[in-house]
Structure 1
Amino acid sequence: MKHLFFLGFLLLISCAEKEKEIIENELAIIPKPQEITVYKGSFTLNSETTYYAEDEFEIASQFISEYLKNSGFGLKKTTKDQATFVVAKDSLLPKEGYALSISEEKINITAKDASGAFYAMQTLRQLLPPSLERLNSFPKPSASLPLVEINDSPKFSYRGMHLDVARHFFDKEFVKKYISYLSMLKMNYFHWHLTEDQGWRIEIKKYPKLTTHAAYRNETLIGHYNDTPQQFDGQRYGGFYTQEDIKEIIAYAQKLNVTIIPEIEMPGHAQAAISAYPELGCTGEKIPVATKWGVFEDIYCPKEETFTFLQDVLTEVVALFPGEYIHIGGDEAPNAHWENCKHCQALIKKEGLKDEHELQSYFITRIEKFLNSKGKKIIGWDEILEGGLAPNATVMSWRGTEGGIAAAKQHHNVIMTPGSHCYFDYYQSENDDEPLAIGGFVPLEKVYTLNPIPEELSENEAKYILGAQGNVWTEYMKTPEHIEYMIFPRILALSEVDWKGPSQNFEKDYPQFVSCVESFMERLDVMGVNFANHLYQLKSKIFKENGKVYYELSTPTHGKDIFYSLNDTKEKKYEGPILIAENSFIKSYVSQNGNPLGKTLQDSIIYHKAINGSITLNKEPHPKYNSGGKEALINGRMGSNARYGDSEWLGFWGDDLEVTINLFQPMEISKVSTRFYHAPGQWIHAPNVATIQIISKGGEMKSETVSVSSNTEKTTAILSFDLSKFQLNEAYKIIIRVPNYGTIPQGQQGAGNEAWTFIDEIIVE
């Protein structure tokens, strides 16, 4: 009997070990949990599954019940002891954290708070088949779940997305859908941009003209702002949300554990409101609701009647929105009218202020005190740092990380949203057929590289970084489908950064993330999301080794082949870097099992005399516009004719530029040329002149200064140095000096700011 008992005991151990056999299985959960172990086996979820949850986890219970019911499931409620699906409290877990355990017999979820339990349901949802996202997807409901142990909590407390509904208006049903996307990805804040120069979108009962007048513009710009001449559609456009609409959207967001932050812009971006009530401006003149994009000089005048208006507006806003934050904008407020306003100048003198920057700080601080008295905190764009930061303000750092660094060092809370990584209105692909966008270039990979905590901050200062946010400005987005295209899949990368934290090993983590995105797209497809798929877009790179130039191709996706042709020769399978020794045209594409995926990449390479050289710059390009690095200026590839933000253009803000090129060996040169982007509507100005200096092997030096040839109807300006007269036979160093255009004059977009300089390939012949 002892022998039989021992054999039985061994059998039980063997079965237990088999049940807990860990398997290597990368589950497509986005954002990726902090800790996850996958075991062999599965749990069957069906209409017989019994459910129990503690009362404080109502939003989690409501979500999973409705989600499964819509797909044909129904959970039977029972007691904790009898349930096979249990949600219980564990006060030792981190805030917003949860533990999820799925065995063959049971689903166990524990959480410290309601948010954690809700996020556990979002993870569970992603473990279920994507087909459940479709209504009535299972006539005979039954689904298998993998066996997992997950311990999870967010890295950052603020995980947000923004939506501008003022440039283009989107109805309440789409706004709710947008919020549902955030919720699925464990994002907890929705920043709702409600007022602008081009439209006021929130009903304020005390000021009816804000919706009868300011919510509509007479027409809208067609095409890009930089097109010459600008054209308009001649169609009245607008819309607004009633207070009942807003209450409905807020209630919906609360069910999905999302807090809404309304933005009421001030003192700038106020032309629509001033159009309705001209007394709010400095001039008192009647002006139209803006019909094109940009920054406008008509801003709120800091008069008592203006503060009365804004306090009345904010009183109604505060009554609607239960969250702790109100966003008051504070960005892009030209001070031209304030400079010429007797009241403003008298107020500066009366309050002992230095200038208009301190007047804006006075404006923001006064609004903050009012909102603080209502139990609210303010958030503002990083311009609110200028002239002194309001005492309790949270800063959104959008012009880079510098504003966030400065605020954190002053012990103010910061939300990072730098344009270099977080502006989803920028292009995400270099393909020519991408939908029209404002400019810039923020591919999926760039979003994934975001680290919200700058290395300049100490451990104590880093505590003030609350998290990161993606921004969706809608100047060039007219439809919900276009918005979905611009946010997906980039929102997936941002959600991972905000929840899991920034990658510590990009080379390992990014391919794994891309693999998850590839699987996740099936879910998006079932949901009917109009996502952009650039996963199969090849990445090409020029590099130099031992005096030779090579062209390298790569794809982040696994299990794929690459095929290419060089100068229209027979197509080959890519096995490694391609030697480039002449002007070359390369076509390449990704293939799986003999089937092409994605679009064909076409690269033209100009094999000029500097391509083998080395290059140094006196200034680093701005982080927003440095994806190609300094080598982009001599890698043989030209930037886009229509976009300044791809990997070949380098951007510099307000800096004089000096480029030094050391040629691979002394050689004869007769011409050096380059080009600059020219788009004044976006603060980008080609320089007026540039100087070249050539140094020969024997120490001979030649210099020349030339004017930059620009055409106001084109977005590029040409710089060409004809050096044939110098008969340079042994040139080895080229120095090009490019003075910045300078301060943008009044009357132009960005007046008072330093201009941007964008430079393309430097071709040496």
Structure 2
Amino acid sequence: MKHFRLTTSFLLLTTFITLLTSCFRGVPKPLPIAIIPQPQSIQRSTGVFTLHKTLRIDSSEPLQEVAEFAKKSLATTGISISSKSTAPAVIFVHDTTLVNEEGYRLQVSQNSIHISAKDAKGAFYGLQSLVQLLPTDIPKDPIHIPCMTIDDYPRFSYRGMHLDVGRHFFPVSFIKQYIDMLAQLKMNTFHWHLTEDQGWRIEIKKYPKLQSIASQRKETLIGHYTDQPPQYDHTPYGGYYTQEEIKEVVAYAQERQVTIIPEIEMPGHSQAAIAAYPELGCTGNPVSVATTWGVFDDIYCPKEQTFEFLEAVIDEVITLFPGPYIHIGGDEAPKTRWKNCAHCQELIQREQLKDEQGLQSYFIQRMERYINSKGKKIIGWDEILEGGLAPNATVMSWRGTAGAVTAAKEGHHVILTPTSHCYFDYYQSQNETEPLAIGGYLPLKKVYDFEPIPEAMTAKEASYVLGAQGNVWTEYMKTTDQVNYMVFPRALALSEVLWSDKKIKDYTNFIHRLQNFLPRLDKKGIRYANHLYEIKGRSFYQNDSVYFELKTTLPNSRIRYTVDGSTPTKNSASYLAPFYLTKSCTIKAAVFEEDRMLGELYTTHFKKHLAVEQQLQISPAPHPNFDSGGSRALINGIVGHHKRFNDPEWLGFNSDSVRLTLKLNHSQKMNTLRVRFHNGKTSWIYAPKDIRIQSKTGFQRVQNIPESKRPFVETAIELNGLVADELYLTIYNYGKIPDGRPGAGHNAWLFINELILE
């Protein structure tokens, strides 16, 4: 009887589970809501909208063009567009009661989807959100979109991405794909950097040598700008966009609600144009289109012939670009030629200008008046502030935020593009396998944490902030794959910075939505940087002992690691908490999903030298922007990356000298002290000229450091068996940056890494 009762109970339980399962099987599983950028408000409601691969699209008349675009766009996902009245519908509704510019309301009910907007831009952005509610590929089975109401609008009116095609040229097909991605992320501006020292990329019919000479260079630098000796590929390189191609791209962008801002550089970054027409320079001597990167002395000479040339160029440019702005550059214009030019000096005297900076202001203001007379406004990099700002100019602040604050105080509109958060040519990972880049370090989270309104601004000044922009300088991006790798997914993070209210931003939530978005990039064949499983490590002091910490972007990830230099496997130790470092070792780690390694292997080397676990005093303190590792970053046993200076292992100083006091817990015999310095001159960073080292015992030595073109400098100071418990180092800053170099006239930065005492 017991056996009978047990069997009967089991059968009853099995029957109940089967019935319960069949009930749940009939409940449709809705798709996740994972939109980037995050909408301002999402209100869920009961039920789902069911889609059987067929949609009808209707529209109010003012939004008809967006509806037609929607038909083409949705068809690419595998949806069939039907005209049958019985088909589920997406309906575009013209609603003038909506308050916010570019805003929309997306309402998903069980029977239809309504996208309401007061203009085409809002309707278009509502469509982009709808597309992200759909799967990347429409399956054979019905899909179910949860019922909801999204009320959405942008935080900033200017949401931009830049692309430099002067250093490397990219085909029209790629420019269209780039614009496509900006539009999907609700970015509304494409800043097209068309002229450079290394190539002129826009057809100007009045000046055919711009096409035949200025658009071509005889060869291109191989490797990094700082590598010595420089190497070249000995391969001619060039290209330009015809005016017909530009019209095609502009029309393509307009259909996607993207405004294109062309940049015609002046007075600097103009060597390619001067190569075609030497009379535009101060010397009149022939020059070549630049074959390397950097800043060059040959800039436009402010004479009538030059202004006639530039005005004619602008006349053709404004017929191609219907947007309100022309970008005129204005950055990195060395005054070497102007200082030695009789015409320039006479012009300074005649116009009662203060100096060459005043002459640059004269140049910019004259071109602004001409551009304004053609119904356009100018944008320039923040150097246009020098010598006095043109009256109607908008400033792009790239050298930090000070330029934005200054311009806003004077009542000028500003766009934030600081190198610290918006330069996508910077490294995005500290992994040694990253492709060559110009330098710096800008990981995804730092982009996401960017706040475009500087703290130093008052509420009134903040009203002049139009928005921000990501910049993509292509010295080290020869192919379209390299551009995509550097841009994505950082552009997704920036899109949320510019669109979403900062109160609703959440990085962990963003990462989960990003995981949902990445297959969309895969489908388009976009090679992006996937550092979601990347491990970061750091050593730190706790109770005067050195510990090592591992962490990764995604929470609850399983990290396995080794300290003997071997590659971790599924059986290696699981990382649970920071561990104590007792001796020199090689640490390797990776994220695992069961027995499968995800992402790339993390590797770092720890050296337990004599200064580790000792005391170090620094005066003055490092600059707050470059002090993330604290003073003990210099004696923690980890050597910083020699190509980058923004990781916690490097401390940055902008003072005339730095005093280091190393205190040992007892007297030690010392043979050598090795000190590492960053030498990234394109970033205004120079190794020091001298180091003075002393001890209480009377030992003293001055070490001279010859100037180097290497990206970092390591100097070894012989101590010859010195026995002491303290060392005093005085490191002297390089001083003023010479003329003709990036940052000329400014005090050089000093970046110090590990003090290795042996």
Q: Provide TM-score, normalisation by structure 2.
A: 0.90
Task: Output the CA distance in 2 between the equivalents of 1:448 and 1:294.
Answer: 29
Query: Paired residue for 2:620?
Result: 618
Residue 402 of structure 1 pairs with residue 402 of structure 2:
yes
Query: Paired residue for 2:11?
Result: none
Task: Output the CA distance in 2 between the equivalents of 1:393 and 1:637.
Answer: 47
Contact conserved, 2:546 with 2:636, CA < 8 A, in 1? Answer: no
Query: Paired residue for 1:10?
Result: none
Residue 707 of structure 1 pairs with residue 699 of structure 2:
no
Counterparts of 1:679-690 in structure 2, within 5 Å, are: 679-680=680-681, 683-690=684-691
| Residue 59 (structure 1) shift | 4.2
Query: Paired residue for 1:742?
Result: 735
Residue 719 of structure 1 pairs with residue 723 of structure 2:
no
For residue 427 of structure 2, give the secondary structure of its aligned residue in structure 1: coil
Contact conserved, 2:43 with 2:148, CA < 8 A, in 1? Answer: yes
| Residue 645 (structure 1) shift | 4.5
Contact conserved, 1:400 with 1:418, CA < 8 A, in 2? Answer: yes
Residues 709/348 of structure 1: CA separation in 2 closer, same or farther (3 Å cut): closer
| Residue 447 (structure 1) shift | 0.9
Query: Paired residue for 2:253?
Result: 253
| Residue 529 (structure 1) shift | 0.8
- Structure 1 unaligned spans of 5+: 1-17, 133-137, 695-699
Contact conserved, 2:30 with 2:143, CA < 8 A, in 1? Answer: no
For residue 602 of structure 1, give the secondary structure of its aligned residue in structure 2: strand
Query: Paired residue for 1:536?
Result: 533
Task: Output the CA distance in 1 between the equivalents of 2:562 and 2:360.
Answer: 59
| Residue 36 (structure 1) shift | 1.8
Query: Paired residue for 1:372?
Result: 372
Query: Paired residue for 1:604?
Result: 605
Task: Output the CA distance in 2 between the equivalents of 1:317 and 1:629.
Answer: 51
Task: Output the CA distance in 2 between the equivalents of 1:375 and 1:155.
Answer: 27
Task: Output the CA distance in 2 between the equivalents of 1:272 and 1:412.
Answer: 31
Task: Output the CA distance in 2 between the equivalents of 1:127 and 1:58.
Answer: 22
Residues 61/652 of structure 1: CA separation in 2 closer, same or farther (3 Å cut): farther
What do residues 236-265 of structure 1 show as CA deviations (whole Å, max 9, x unaligned)?
A: 111111111111000000011100000000
What do residues 174-214 of structure 1 show as CA deviations (whole Å, max 9, x unaligned)?
A: 11111001001000000000001111111111111111111
| Residue 673 (structure 1) shift | 2.8
Query: Paired residue for 2:191?
Result: 191
| Residue 43 (structure 1) shift | 1.2
| Residue 58 (structure 1) shift | 3.3
| Residue 476 (structure 1) shift | 1.1
The match for 2:511 among 511, 514, 517 is 514
| Residue 462 (structure 1) shift | 1.1
For residue 49 of structure 1, give the secondary structure of its aligned residue in structure 2: strand
Give the letter aligned to residue 293 of structure 2: W
Give the letter aligned to residue 425 of structure 2: D
Residues 747/95 of structure 1: CA separation in 2 closer, same or farther (3 Å cut): closer
Residues 358/581 of structure 1: CA separation in 2 closer, same or farther (3 Å cut): same
| Residue 701 (structure 1) shift | 7.3
Task: Output the CA distance in 1 between the equivalents of 2:681 and 2:649.
Answer: 20
Contact conserved, 1:587 with 1:601, CA < 8 A, in 2? Answer: yes
Task: Output the CA distance in 2 between the equivalents of 1:24 and 1:48.
Answer: 18
Task: Output the CA distance in 2 between the equivalents of 1:297 and 1:410.
Answer: 31
Query: Paired residue for 1:105?
Result: 111
What do residues 458-509 of structure 1 show as CA deviations (whole Å, max 9, x unaligned)?
A: 111111111111111111111111111111111111111111144787xxx2
| Residue 658 (structure 1) shift | 1.8
Give the letter aligned to residue 727 of structure 1: V
Counterparts of 1:440-479 in structure 2, within 5 Å, are: 440-479=440-479
| Residue 443 (structure 1) shift | 1.2
Counterparts of 1:316-715 in structure 2, within 5 Å, are: 316-502=316-502, 509-568=506-565, 571-612=572-613, 613=615, 615-621=617-623, 623=625, 628=629, 630-653=631-654, 655-661=655-661, 663=663, 665=665, 667-668=667-668, 670=670, 671-680=672-681, 683-694=684-695, 700=696, 704-710=700-706, 712=708, 714-715=710-711
| Residue 232 (structure 1) shift | 1.4
Task: Output the CA distance in 2 between the equivalents of 1:545 and 1:680.
Answer: 36
Task: Output the CA distance in 2 between the equivalents of 1:752 and 1:533.
Answer: 40
| Residue 593 (structure 1) shift | 2.6
For residue 176 of structure 1, give the secondary structure of its aligned residue in structure 2: helix
Contact conserved, 2:107 with 2:114, CA < 8 A, in 1? Answer: yes
Query: Paired residue for 1:309?
Result: 309
Contact conserved, 1:220 with 1:235, CA < 8 A, in 2? Answer: yes
Query: Paired residue for 1:273?
Result: 273
Residues 458/702 of structure 1: CA separation in 2 closer, same or farther (3 Å cut): farther
Give the letter aligned to residue 123 of structure 1: S
Residues 679/556 of structure 1: CA separation in 2 closer, same or farther (3 Å cut): closer
For residue 326 of structure 2, give the secondary structure of its aligned residue in structure 1: strand
| Residue 153 (structure 1) shift | 1.1
Residues 726/259 of structure 1: CA separation in 2 closer, same or farther (3 Å cut): same
What do residues 90-123 of structure 1 show as CA deviations (whole Å, max 9, x unaligned)?
A: 4233111112121222212222322111111111
Structure 1 residues 224-233 or 664-673, which shifts more? 664-673
| Residue 663 (structure 1) shift | 4.2
Query: Paired residue for 2:8?
Result: none
| Residue 633 (structure 1) shift | 2.3
Give the letter aligned to residue 518 of structure 2: M
Contact conserved, 2:703 with 2:717, CA < 8 A, in 1? Answer: no
Task: Output the CA distance in 2 between the equivalents of 1:627 and 1:317.
Answer: 46
Task: Output the CA distance in 1 between the equivalents of 2:503 and 2:630.
Answer: 21
Query: Paired residue for 1:224?
Result: 224
Contact conserved, 1:52 with 1:78, CA < 8 A, in 2? Answer: no
| Residue 581 (structure 1) shift | 2.6
Contact conserved, 1:669 with 1:764, CA < 8 A, in 2? Answer: no
Task: Output the CA distance in 2 between the equivalents of 1:710 and 1:564.
Answer: 41
The match for 1:58 among 46, 60, 64 is 64
Give the letter aligned to residue 648 of structure 1: E
Residues 84/196 of structure 1: CA separation in 2 closer, same or farther (3 Å cut): closer
Task: Output the CA distance in 2 between the equivalents of 1:31 and 1:661.
Answer: 48
Residue 70 of structure 1 pairs with residue 76 of structure 2:
yes
Contact conserved, 2:296 with 2:740, CA < 8 A, in 1? Answer: no
| Residue 319 (structure 1) shift | 1.3
Residue 122 of structure 1 pairs with residue 124 of structure 2:
no
| Residue 743 (structure 1) shift | 2.2
What do residues 525-570 of structure 1 show as CA deviations (whole Å, max 9, x unaligned)?
A: 1121111111111121222222222211111214420111123588
Give the letter aligned to residue 606 of structure 1: K
Contact conserved, 1:197 with 1:289, CA < 8 A, in 2? Answer: yes
What do residues 216-243 of structure 1 show as CA deviations (whole Å, max 9, x unaligned)?
A: 1111112221121112122211111111
Task: Output the CA distance in 2 between the equivalents of 1:301 and 1:288.
Answer: 17
Q: Provide TM-score, normalisation by structure 1.
A: 0.89
Give the letter aligned to residue 68 of structure 2: Q
Task: Output the CA distance in 2 between the equivalents of 1:244 and 1:394.
Answer: 29
For residue 205 of structure 1, give the secondary structure of its aligned residue in structure 2: coil
Counterparts of 1:138-217 in structure 2, within 5 Å, are: 143-217=143-217
Residues 347/662 of structure 1: CA separation in 2 closer, same or farther (3 Å cut): same
Contact conserved, 1:450 with 1:502, CA < 8 A, in 2? Answer: no
Task: Output the CA distance in 2 between the equivalents of 1:80 and 1:157.
Answer: 39
Aligned residues: 726
Task: Output the CA distance in 2 between the equivalents of 1:365 and 1:649.
Answer: 41
